[in-house]
Amino acid sequence: MKLIKAAIAEDDFRIAGIHEKFLQKFSEIRVVGKALTGENTLQLLKDTNPDLLLLDVYLPDMLGSELLPVIRERFPRITIIMITAATDKEILEKALAYGVDNYLIKPVTQERFEEVIQSFIKKHALLSVNGSVNQDIVDRIFEKSKQEQSKKGTGYPKGIDEITLKKVKAVLETQQSGMSAEEVGNAIGASRITARRYLEYMSSVNELRTEVVYGIVGRPEKKYYPV
């Protein structure tokens, strides 16, 4: 399989650099460029014709979501993964409507980032076959969706246990002002990554609300609040 060309549209050059380093861990992927604005993004796509675009929502000149119809019209075959601090349901709905492959809310753990990219690489390889596809290929492409459907009938998803989940809920209920993943991890005696996994699960089932706040150095941090 030939190398997958990837482009990054992100207004924060530091975050763009982090995402580039994450992508460079995959031998199948080559980063062909980074763009800081919506206008630069369209020019980059025209110049490099990448297979994958990591797209932020809050670009200086326009919303990344406003780029979606333009990108779909001009570059219909590109795969888009949105990585953003935006938690507006309307933006997510628009992303789904324009066939965005995945939607990651900042801050994103390296573990979650790599999981999504691995899934994309697998799907890209399956769709790179010449000629027609068979049911086996189709089933493998939609394998993740089937696995997610099966989780609904078996209790909590993999990596979530009831005892730790109760601890996280109990800690959050004592802090109405909100807590970061690191603070929750310290409170329950677990790592920040573990705490974030449970917090993101609770967010996905609407058991808490989230908000992105900016510290003294301007680095975004997600806060979790009980509902």
pLDDT, tens only, 173-204: 888 888 999 999 999 999 989 999 899 888 88
Predicted confidence at residue 219, as pLDDT, reads: 64
Q: What confidence score (pLDDT) does residue 155 get?
A: 61
pLDDT attached to residue 98: 94
β-strand partners of 6: 31, 52
Q: Is the pLDDT of residue 151 over 50?
A: no
- Predicted structure pTM score: 0.63
Residue with more model confidence, 64 or 217: 64
Could you give phi then psi for residue 164, rounded to 5 degrees?
A: -65, -35
Per the CATH hierarchy, to which homologous superfamily does domain 4-128 belong? Response regulator (3.40.50.2300)
162-226 CATH fold:
Arc Repressor Mutant, subunit A (1.10.10)
Q: What is the pLDDT of residue 67?
A: 95
CB of 74 closer than 8 Å to CB of 53: no
Residue 43: the pLDDT is 97
- How confident is the model over 122-147, as pLDDT tens digits? 888 887 766 677 777 677 766 654 45
Are 54 and 4 in contact, with CB atoms under 8 Å apart? Answer: no
Residues of the chain with CATH 3.40.50.2300: 4-128
Is residue 216's pLDDT more than 60? no
**How sure is the predictor about 29, in pLDDT bands with cuts at 50, 70 and 90?**
very high
Q: What three-state secondary structure class fits 178? A: coil
Per-residue pLDDT band for 149 (boundaries 50, 70, 90) equals: very low
Half-sphere exposure of 188 (CA within 13 A, CB side): 26
More confident residue, 203 or 5: 5
Delimiting residues of CATH 1.10.10.10 domain(s) in the chain: 162-226
Residue pLDDT, tens place only, 42-71: 999 999 999 999 999 999 999 999 999 999
Confidence of residue 152 (pLDDT cuts 50, 70, 90): very low
Residue whose C-alpha is closest to residue 99's, from 71, 141, 132, 127: 71
Give the Cα separation of 102 and 100 in Å (integer): 6
